[in-house]
Structure 1
């Protein structure tokens, strides 16, 4: 809880700080990486740094946390923090790194806002930062403990035992754990980090949903190649597509992610678009393997049938569930067993009392969320997963 004096100062300065947050975070990253270039090796996603997505996500998280403290002073916004904590655990963030971040973030605030940052204002925002950092450190410690790890050491080698081409731009890798240590289980919907060394020697991490499970601890990930276009070419997805073959070894983290299918008997609505089908496919697989009798409505949108990764897996497991049905939308349906165009929930019967899980582009999920709420799904029962920095924080 913020002290009364700090809350007053944060409320008064939030508009000014908020207006400059992207400038502040840009300056923060520039100065921090200049002094600590090692942080770009195996911790920060340099693709998101180049695109600006990481600084937007950091700015949104800080602003959303400050607003939550002011709006609900007696509560800690754990729902907001849980997603960040899992993302941090997936890349191995450690307690000491919060001290480094504090130094450069507050240096950037002072540099950008200048004389407006009085000692009293700085102390008030210092309270905000350490409330957020302290809560995240505690959450991450629990997450690491659940994964059987300490200080971010969640990594282990896995062998690629099968490579399956799902579409022209998506492949699945079936992986078998190496070594004798127990494998932390992955809850349906969670993701793992894959750590690779790029041609220039820098290590990079990317997160991929666990899209399937198998015998002897095997698990699958499905990787979509990010081609140059509206955004730069994905350097890790391209490397994996071009170089990884059966028999190769990959370094994976333990599974993380706060958006995982909960057991229960409430009806489910599973909503996805594009490669966002990967956590949904894992949830369907889990339900089918458990012989679930829950009512399940599967909704997926894609450019075309040929672009729909894991389509056969989703169809097979939906068909295996007695209470499940599916509706697919393809922008180029061509008379297939799918609806033409983009997903439209008008006329779709959403089960009463449903719990929804979504994954896909943020704008797609905004529209789907609005449609679900209009159909009677409670906002608290709509859960979403975002690939990459969460640019939706504070807006969903």
Structure 2
């Protein structure tokens, strides 16, 4: 893949880069207006975009950051290729098509002009039109390769394929696992521990389809995919999760669910034999469990430290399985942190994972670190690891939902 799909002239590059300060100030305002306009003009796209993230403002913020990064590096898009590939993985999982990019471009340019008014001169709009075409070509090229790759895997497919729920297991008061096998009885492609699938939920009385991405919570190599879904209950001003409630309450053993093939770039590096540290908060344990189950199968001599934080034992999913692994595999050490334990709970620390406690249990030699959980948890873990002296190259994490910067 190359970003040299089209060359931009120096004047266009200079104009786009000159808009960086404006994007820093008005980026989120522009992207909010963009989504409003796009959904007015193309309401069918509500079948793709997560409307909860729209209401919360997470998606406009993530897009604003992506546009800002593109403007900063418009003369060297290789710099943002890692971010492009991460977004492209999500696009492939959501079945985004090349013909949808011009729709995005048209509405983004309108939003820039609408928000900035006379400050958005014809030169600026024309420069951004040319820049967007180049950026879109990069995404389309990367995604084309991804579609071809998954299509060519044994059992691979593009789009959505019906899977049957062959088992439904309650893991905690809020998390339930769904075991999925293809309805056509065919083969399923392998995946890498840490990847996710997209569930396509068609819910009665809901005007649009809902797409949600869930990590695969078991090791690859089985004849099923497993997802473990947290039921998002209504809290304060936040309504209950539409899809999580649908899965928990309406999907039974024998139900059919359309899903996309596994995707994602947050994956365990199995060529690394150094100690492995897995940190999870709440439902962030789902990709961690896939990694843990894989390590004990594929790297049975690799030291593993698994640290999980949640409210208490009622909310702690798969605790028995982790305890079983730690008991049967001497190289695996597990720790549990509860911030609101109840009577009868067994745990290693009450409260939260703070630096002093974490530093006391981490391996002193070089190690690889993977973590996932709520954003507040992830920001804290990142800062703890940096304080511990871990290099960014050894820190790996997955954010559920739109991209965000947890390093600030």
| TM-score relative to the length of structure 2 | 0.89
The C-alpha deviation readout for 1:27-60, integer Å capped at 9, x for no partner, is: 111111111111112x111222222221111112
How far residue 164 of structure 1 moved from its aligned partner, in angstroms, is 0.7
**Structure 1 residues 17 and 215, CA, compared in 2 at 3 Å: closer, same or farther?**
closer
How far residue 367 of structure 1 moved from its aligned partner, in angstroms, is 1.2
How far residue 267 of structure 1 moved from its aligned partner, in angstroms, is 2.0
Equivalent residue number for residue 235 of structure 1:
242
Q: Which blocks of at least 5 consecutive residues in structure 2 are unaligned?
A: none
1:336 aligns with 2:346: yes
Residue 229 of structure 2 aligns to a residue in which SS? strand
| TM-score relative to the length of structure 1 | 0.92
1:100 aligns with 2:103: yes
Matches within 5 A, 1:1-396: 3-41=9-47, 43-69=48-74, 73=76, 75-148=78-151, 153-200=158-205, 201-213=207-219, 217-230=223-236, 231-264=238-271, 265-333=273-341, 336-346=346-356, 347-392=360-405
Q: Which blocks of at least 5 consecutive residues in structure 1 are unaligned?
A: none
Conservation of the 8 A alpha-carbon contact between 1:148 and 1:184 = no
Root-mean-square deviation over aligned CA pairs: 2.2
Q: How far, CA to CA, are the matches of 2:135 and 2:332 in structure 1? A: 41
Q: How far, CA to CA, are the matches of 2:195 and 2:337 in structure 1? A: 25
Q: How far, CA to CA, are the matches of 1:74 and 1:238 in structure 2? A: 40
Residue 381 of structure 2 aligns to a residue in which SS? helix
Residue 217 of structure 2 aligns to a residue in which SS? strand
Q: How far, CA to CA, are the matches of 2:24 and 2:166 in structure 1? A: 49
Residue 176 of structure 2 aligns to a residue in which SS? strand
Conservation of the 8 A alpha-carbon contact between 1:345 and 1:371 = yes
**Structure 1 residues 246 and 8, CA, compared in 2 at 3 Å: closer, same or farther?**
same
How far residue 348 of structure 1 moved from its aligned partner, in angstroms, is 3.0
Residue 339 of structure 2 aligns to a residue in which SS? strand
Conservation of the 8 A alpha-carbon contact between 2:39 and 2:45 = yes
Q: How far, CA to CA, are the matches of 1:374 and 1:343 in structure 2? A: 14
Which stretch of the first structure deviates more once superposed, 289-298 or 94-103? Answer: 289-298
Conservation of the 8 A alpha-carbon contact between 2:16 and 2:74 = no
Residue 67 of structure 2 aligns to a residue in which SS? helix
Q: How far, CA to CA, are the matches of 2:334 and 2:349 in structure 1? A: 11
Q: How far, CA to CA, are the matches of 1:174 and 1:236 in structure 2? A: 17
How far residue 180 of structure 1 moved from its aligned partner, in angstroms, is 4.8
Which stretch of the first structure deviates more once superposed, 211-220 or 155-164? Answer: 211-220
How far residue 351 of structure 1 moved from its aligned partner, in angstroms, is 4.2
Conservation of the 8 A alpha-carbon contact between 2:372 and 2:398 = yes
- Report 1 or 2 for greater relative contact order, CA contacts < 8 Å, sequence distance ≥ 6: 1
Runs of 4+ in 1 over 6 A off after TM superposition: none
Residue 88 of structure 2 aligns to a residue in which SS? helix
Q: How far, CA to CA, are the matches of 1:383 and 1:129 in structure 2? A: 30
